[in-house]
Structure 1
Amino acid sequence: MTAMSSALRAWRAVEHRWQSWPPAVRQTSRLMILVALLALGTLIVYVTGGTRYAYPYLMLIPVLLAGAWYTWRGSLLVALMAGLLMAAMPLTVASGEAQATLNWVIRLCLYLAIGAFAGVLFERLRQSHLNLERAARTDPRAGLPNEIALEADLSRLLQAPARLDGRSTGVILMRIEDITEIMEALGADACDDLVLAIDRRLARLGPNLLGCYRVSGAELALLLWPVGLDELNRIAARVVELGEDNLVALGVPLRAQLVLGSALHKSPDDTPGGLVREARIAMLAATEKQRSYCHFQPAFARRGVQNVKLIAQVRRSLAKGEFELHYQPKLRLADGELTGYEGLIRWRDAQGNLIPPGMFMPKVENTTLIAPVTRFVATEACRFAMRQEKRVSINFSVRNLMDDALLEELGEHVRQSGMEPSRLEVEITESALVHDLFAAKRALERIRSCGIRVSIDDFGTGFSSFEYLRHLPLTGLKIDRAFVEGLEHDRRARKLMACLIDVGHALDLEVTAEGVETQEQHRLLQEMGCDQAQGFLYAKALPAEEVLAWQRERERSSLGSSHSASVDSRHK
């Protein structure tokens, strides 16, 4: 098998080198090979004693080669030449005995028949190969060239000599962000028609555009030459504007939300795949930065590598038990009573350093790792809830809501732990609801059916309408810290906060304000009737043992204060 693989690699290397020769050189080489084979075959037949032996069949080799190289016309011509050369050859060289006419005529006819058959066969094979190659380089639905064609065309351009004006080859990769919604509403044919409509509009970009390629269902690539960075940026801006115009797909006017990334050939070491990869990295960076377009920068690639390494580290650290939950207290504003905690994940690396969740959770939430991470959080939160009497809340992401197995495990875990289900609370961000309100409602109903409380986190920052609150099985809402920060100095912020609290109370929801850091914020929220608060004013998030010690100390202080007040009243 190894020998066969080596032979195949060697043949491909020879074929690649042959294809790199100029066409005129290849044609001349083929003619010389055919002439040499005809001469060699004639010589072998003569030296071996004449046409009475089997050696005349060697003349079929150049006939077959001619069929492969020049179709049936070439093979017939070479077959005729081979037959005539053999006709002049004696039957026996030693005696000089000539062939019978019928003998060499039949041989000539055989050569011609084999040549014609081989020529037609090779022509069919060549055409079939071209069709397969064309199909391999073409998107079957839209008929546009695909990524294979893009890399082949890029390869030819990258091999061209560098231009004196510094301009080179550019690639723009674009993704139609809303193609899923279009497919759901109008079907796959509408998406294909939209892609073709964009392709027709792109033809207006001018002579620098060499081609438009469909590299995936939602992605198109533009090959540009010759361009500089400024030209590339201008063309990208025009493409973004193009998506904002009305595009007609299956007779329906549409607008395509495009996100673009570009890359420019700068180094002799650039490869077609590398250039496309850089454009894709830039496109992903644009998505991450919520922009329409980004040009590739090396920092983007480094960040991508860091993200991949980070996700791999999270997987290993989860298995090693390097994650832990810290708990931040929540207090009832009416009397200062401790009502519960929010469990917040922390990552303590092998050196004992704490890695804040902002450095890894946004990446984890976009991967399947969010499921095992959330299972860990839920398990730890339930254990902590069993160690004290207060409520514990945990955070759920979009992926968690769509994970039926995780929702089932959550309810089962609460039942097996023996804890009161209402002592566990799940906090959902508004952005998770925006993703799919119907699916989110169904998931929240499953959670509530287990007796677990459900609260909206970061309330006021995600959804533009409060109408959805009426339809969801909620028990509370948490107002985002952004509304708390301006309470002391901004009259409008206070009015807005009061409105948000009223909205929660109107729906019989428990209202919590997060990010409370000053006594004045505490006082204002208390006056507005906010139910609960959490923030650094009361305590930061602490490990389980430390927060339990904090709770015991607080209870002792509270008892001490109550006892002193009782003694004072008796003395009076």
Structure 2
Amino acid sequence: MISVINCITDAHNLWLVLVAAFICVSGSWSVIRLFRRGKAASGGEAFGWQFLAAVAAGASIWSTHFVAMLAYHPGTPVAFDPVLTVISLLVAMVGSLAGLIVAGIIRTRWSPAIGGGMVGLAIAIMHYTGMRAYVIEGSIDWNSTYLIASIMLAISITSIAFHVANLYGSVRGKAASVGFLTLAIVSLHFTGMTALQITPLSISPGFTNPGEMQAMALAIALVCFIIVGSVLASYLIDNQTRSRSMSQLRHMALSDALTGLANRASFNDHLDESIEVASKQGQKFALAAIDLDRFKEINDLRGHSAGDTTLQILAQRMRDFDNGSLFVARVGGDEFSVILPLSDPLDMRNLLVRLRNELIRPFTIGEEELSVGASIGVCVFPDDATEKSALINYTDLALYRAKTEIADKICFFDNVMDENVRNKRELAADLRYAIEHNQLEVHYQVQATISDSVITGYEALLRWNHPLRGAIPPSEFIPLAEENGIILQLGEWVLRMACKQCAPLGIKVAVNLSPIQFLHPNLPGLVEDILAETGMRAENLELELTESAIIHDKERTLVQLQAIRKLGVTIALDDFGTGYSSLDTLRAFPFDKIKLDRTFMNELETSDQARSIIRAVLSLGRSLEIPVLAEGIETSDQLAILAEEGCQSAQGYFLGRPAPLSMIVSAIEVENLEAPEKLAGMLNKLRDADDSAETAAA
């Protein structure tokens, strides 16, 4: 060890030794970085990185060796064999490449150590090949002990360097591996130089110019820095590109592609962070859920492109509104969530009012001015909830209530008030399940002529017998289906089931359509498909709609009705007399039937005014040649008055309560009907059977 130290201090130019050390350290750092980058890659990319690492290793090892050689004072003139000098450089690069391929590409536990040992062996071969290129005027002897020690040190320490580099990716791990690789190169060189024993044959100083040797050393160092720098630059460029790509991917992963706002994943992360910070610091914050009203109409009537543009416009408005204190995310189609700090509830409500005013402000797409509504539900942490799931759930409950409110579209969570909302949401979920698993029933109520009791058809009426809550009236679950976007699915189910059940019997059936069903993008196509699927004759299907379905979007609805009527399906106007534009509706579309609303029947026997209105409607129907059917007939006196006034047909509890199809079929089979005059007897049987069913149900 003392001999090695004496060799360094007495036989070397220390300034050039420092240059060699700097080359060695910087080169080792580059090699380890490139080696680890190649370990993280695969295939051709992994080979490419290890090739660059080999170039850096060969250049830095070779340069370290020759700069240190030029720093050595042998005491006699020296020169270098150019062929062997070049061969030593190639040995360093090729040997390093072979070792790095084993260490970085072959995936076994000990391959980094084995590959590192191969790199150390390449360093040793390079060193002693370079020593053969060292031409001096004198004799050279080698101390075998130091020679073998130098080779063993190079192999073992380099093996350790790459093993550590493979196992530890921390800053300390990388520093340790760079240190070991530097130590391997330095220990090889100076131990090998200690093994060198020179006996000068000449002391003429003219053969070697020290200034030229130093200039050559600096030139070699400069070339090495250029090579290693170029290799390192490629690493840095790739690293920067990767960092930028990762940043872009992260932005894409956490941002909504359409609006650029945070997406659901980002919202969940931010909400978790807000809960954690607020819990530690004793702060409060509010979670607001925003749902756009009438957005679906824009999508359905004007296309998804207009819907996308609408969302982008509203997202930009929310960004412009934010003063840096809000976190806004798009968590669904037309649903947004806002996390905002809470200092004063009144200030927060005012802020939400201003935000809502921004959202509902009209905007222009193309040449058309559009607008949407906005319902907002709010829940406060930790006053209303302390857990994430409860916070989100309560916010949704408040939003649900806001959507049903007419005046106040910003609702804060209230445990008592939102209990009803929770029940309605659970019932909506049960209804969706009932549709999907055919737990609903279609009952049929008879329609007959008043004059001769001839059955003209049946009206399909939906019934739901909840497994836990019992019978739920349509007046409760139909509006629920409309509020929760289930009505299209529900309406399609009823239409398909009624056609499927009635088609084999050849009976005429009337099916109600909700106004929302006319928002279906291709309602006539749906009707045509169901007719073809069930084998139902078009003339045996009658679709009933109320005036509200037409008033909402008159032009579009009338086009759909005309297309449905071309299929051979008849159209009836239901609940006639309760709208505000009945005459205009009749003028706009020639209906096949008018159904007089049941509210007039309640006062028919006691009110002359009600009777006069019915008389006027019947007269209007005759003048327009549109048959009129009276709904809600519950007594014989009502039926007698309608007959006296000239009403053609009727339906109601007096003629027959809604009943399952099996009961209808049973009544038909009992009578074995072959002639119209026997239909009166069937009506009586149906009436008796329905009364019995009603009594049993009660």
Q: Which interval holds the TM-score relative to the shorter structure?
A: 0.5 to 0.7
CA contact (8 A) 1:157 1:169 kept: no
Distance in structure 1 (CA, Å) of the matches to 2:609 and 2:349: 42
Any idea what the Cα deviations from partners look like across 1:186-237, whole Å, max 9, x if unmatched? Answer: 946752563156326744xx78x51333345533332212267766655544
Compared CA separation, residues 523 and 552, structure 1 to 2 (3 A): closer
CA contact (8 A) 1:459 1:478 kept: yes
Partner of 2:274: 157
- The answer to whether residue 431 in structure 2 is matched with residue 310 in structure 1 is yes
- Select between 470-479 and 277-286 the one with higher mean Cα deviation: 277-286
Partner of 2:342: 226
Compared CA separation, residues 402 and 359, structure 1 to 2 (3 A): same
Compared CA separation, residues 226 and 437, structure 1 to 2 (3 A): same
Distance in structure 1 (CA, Å) of the matches to 2:564 and 2:333: 36
Partner of 1:323: 441
CA contact (8 A) 2:601 2:633 kept: yes
Of 514, 534, 542, the match for 2:631:
514
1:37-76 to 2 correspondence within 5 Å?
A: 49-51=152-154, 55=158, 58=161
1:330-341 to 2 correspondence within 5 Å?
A: 330-332=448-450, 339-341=456-458
Residue 50 of structure 1 aligns to which amino acid in structure 2? Answer: L
Compared CA separation, residues 462 and 51, structure 1 to 2 (3 A): farther
- Select between 535-544 and 513-522 the one with higher mean Cα deviation: 513-522
Compared CA separation, residues 191 and 485, structure 1 to 2 (3 A): same
1:258-407 to 2 correspondence within 5 Å?
A: 258-266=374-382, 267-271=385-389, 275-276=391-392, 279-280=395-396, 282-284=398-400, 286-287=402-403, 292-295=409-412, 297=418, 300-301=421-422, 303-317=424-438, 323-332=441-450, 339-346=456-463, 356-358=473-475, 363=481, 366-368=487-489, 370-385=491-506, 392-397=509-514, 398=517, 402=523, 404-407=525-528
| Cα drift, residue 475 of structure 1 | 0.8
* Identity across matched positions, percent: 20
Distance in structure 1 (CA, Å) of the matches to 2:578 and 2:195: 105
CA contact (8 A) 1:90 1:96 kept: no
SS at match of 1:427: strand
Partner of 1:122: 239
1:59-138 to 2 correspondence within 5 Å?
A: 89-91=187-189, 115-138=232-255
Name the structure with the higher helix share: 2
Any idea what the Cα deviations from partners look like across 1:467-506, whole Å, max 9, x if unmatched? Answer: 3433435210113334444556777766655555454444
Partner of 2:372: 256
Distance in structure 1 (CA, Å) of the matches to 2:396 and 2:556: 31
Distance in structure 2 (CA, Å) of the matches to 1:508 and 1:119: 86
- The answer to whether residue 318 in structure 2 is matched with residue 199 in structure 1 is yes
| Cα drift, residue 262 of structure 1 | 3.2
Distance in structure 1 (CA, Å) of the matches to 2:240 and 2:310: 37
Residue 181 of structure 1 aligns to which amino acid in structure 2? Answer: I
Of 644, 660, 664, the match for 1:544:
664
Distance in structure 2 (CA, Å) of the matches to 1:286 and 1:527: 50
Residue 313 of structure 2 aligns to which amino acid in structure 1? Answer: L
SS at match of 2:277: coil
Partner of 1:467: 584
- The answer to whether residue 262 in structure 2 is matched with residue 145 in structure 1 is yes
TM-score by length of 2: 0.55
Distance in structure 2 (CA, Å) of the matches to 1:437 and 1:253: 19
| Cα drift, residue 531 of structure 1 | 3.4
Distance in structure 1 (CA, Å) of the matches to 2:511 and 2:367: 48
| Cα drift, residue 514 of structure 1 | 1.5
| Cα drift, residue 62 of structure 1 | 7.0
Any idea what the Cα deviations from partners look like across 1:392-412, whole Å, max 9, x if unmatched? Answer: 433345278715254244268
- The answer to whether residue 298 in structure 2 is matched with residue 172 in structure 1 is no
Distance in structure 1 (CA, Å) of the matches to 2:315 and 2:422: 31
Any idea what the Cα deviations from partners look like across 1:122-149, whole Å, max 9, x if unmatched? Answer: 2221122112222333344444333333
Residue 161 of structure 2 aligns to which amino acid in structure 1? Answer: L
SS at match of 1:368: helix
Partner of 1:555: 681
Residue 341 of structure 1 aligns to which amino acid in structure 2? Answer: Y
- Select between 105-114 and 164-173 the one with higher mean Cα deviation: 105-114
SS at match of 1:467: helix
How many aligned positions are there? 491
SS at match of 2:496: helix
Q: Is the radius of gyration larger for structure 1 or structure 2?
A: 2
Distance in structure 1 (CA, Å) of the matches to 2:308 and 2:567: 43
Distance in structure 1 (CA, Å) of the matches to 2:655 and 2:536: 32
Distance in structure 2 (CA, Å) of the matches to 1:239 and 1:339: 56
